Amino acid sequence: MNTLKIFCFLVSLTLTICNLPAKAQKWVGDTLTLHFEYPDSLENPVSITHFSDERNRDSRFLSVYEQKKAFFFPVDQIVQTKQPLSTVFQREFTSQNAEVPDFKAEIHRFYIAKTSSMFNERLKLYATIRASGIADTSHWGTLYYELPFNYKKKKMPVEEAYNRILQNWGQQFSNDLLEVDSGLDLLPLGNLYHFRRNAEPVQRNFYTGVDLFAGLNFWGVDAEILFSEPEGNRMFNRSMRMMRYVEHPDFRAIAFGRDVRLWNYRISENWLFTNKIILLFGINNWKDMATASHTLEEILYMNMSFTQKMQYNKFDKRGWVFGVGLMEDAHYIIYHKPKLKIGLSLSCSYKF
């Protein structure tokens, strides 16, 4: 009898545990719905009476980020508008003044990324929008946006921060439409850098490649992957993931990085200047293990480097990317003095 009771208890416990993920998902799943509208003090200088959404996703979607429930459980927080995004924008961009110019727009990408630090929050709005006059049968071109917004966690609710960045974008978008409508025929690298006249929308690029570097008595190779949004500004930052293998006279090491920063400046249609800033942690293998003894801690390897290079990287085009530059490399292993070395860098990647 006791055996039967124990068996029934175990079956019941197993069924409860199996159902926990589904229940937990309902308990912690979260959606933030924005009731977005422009302040009455902002008078629209334009009217957009036709707004369409060409995104292949929920028409209300704006953002998704991870937050912690009960200080431990990671949960995806979805941010969306109450109505479809095109409906919200069409309502808010419709002016009561019949004398303002009228436009139509297509949303091809609209997304707000959210990152956090200890005290600050950061939003960045990415948008790709094709626009034209309401009477035109062809589109003027495409506008690309990459707008940041920083705020303090304790001073501004997250909902207000999302509304603020949408308002900032809306004001710039209205002003851009007026500038484009003025007949100013600007090149992509002109004053209105984020506008591509008579151009179809481009998607974000996927890069994969290698960066070879060598100095007086060291050499190595970086394997890199990167997703890059279309360039909305002449100066822009990106981040990538990479793995590094390096050979030094007394040891070899392998290290990894998941948020390697790339500071970029577009010089011309074909040339891009990039500063790669790296902080990596990994493990090393001493070459004198047969003749010398090392402690366990000496297997840990910390590497920091800066690489400034010129890249042949065609503006808004897919294809091969080549770069050459100078590298400053510093590494540290416990119980050993930090070392600084200088080398040359040659990189090759393909932009899909």
Is 72 within a domain? Answer: yes
Domain range for 111 is 22-197
Both 145 and 286 in a single domain?
A: no
Domain boundary among 197, 220, 247: 197
pLDDT beneath 70: ranges in the chain: 1-29, 39-43, 68-72, 118, 137, 183-191
Both 121 and 222 in a single domain?
A: no
Is 266 within a domain? Answer: yes
Domain boundary among 197, 225, 247: 197
- What pLDDT, on the 0 to 100 scale, is given for residue 184? 54
**CATH code of the domain covering residue 306:** 2.40.160.20
**CATH code of the domain covering residue 55:** 3.40.50
Is 70 within a domain? Answer: yes
Is 267 within a domain? Answer: yes
Both 41 and 126 in a single domain?
A: yes
Both 174 and 211 in a single domain?
A: no
Domain boundary among 197, 219, 249: 197
- What pLDDT, on the 0 to 100 scale, is given for residue 72? 66
Is 148 within a domain? Answer: yes
Both 29 and 176 in a single domain?
A: yes
- What pLDDT, on the 0 to 100 scale, is given for residue 154? 80
Both 135 and 261 in a single domain?
A: no
**Tell me: the pLDDT tens digits for 234-248?**
999 999 999 999 999
Both 180 and 273 in a single domain?
A: no
**Tell me: the pLDDT tens digits for 153-173?**
888 889 999 999 999 999 899
3-state secondary structure the chain: CHHHHHHHHHHHHHHHHHHHHHHHHHHHCEEEEECCCCCCCCCCCCEEEEEEECCCCCCCEEEEEEEEECCCEEEEEEEEECCCHHHHHHHHHCCCCCCCCEEEEEEEEEEEEEEECCCEEEEEEEEEEEEEECCCCCCCEEEEEEEEEEEECCCCCHHHHHHHHHHHHHHHHHHHHHHHHCCCCCCCCCCCCCEEECCCCCCCEEEEEEEEEEECCCEEEEEEEEEECCCCCCEEEEEEEEEEEEECCCEEEEEEEEEEEEEEEECCCCEEEEEEEEEEEEEEEECCCCCCCCCHHHHEEEEEEEEEEEEECCCCCCEEEEEEEEEEEEEECCCCCCEEEEEEEEEEEEEC
Both 180 and 63 in a single domain?
A: yes
Both 216 and 173 in a single domain?
A: no
Is 138 within a domain? Answer: yes
- What pLDDT, on the 0 to 100 scale, is given for residue 22? 39
Both 175 and 231 in a single domain?
A: no
Both 218 and 109 in a single domain?
A: no
- What pLDDT, on the 0 to 100 scale, is given for residue 42? 58
- What pLDDT, on the 0 to 100 scale, is given for residue 236? 94
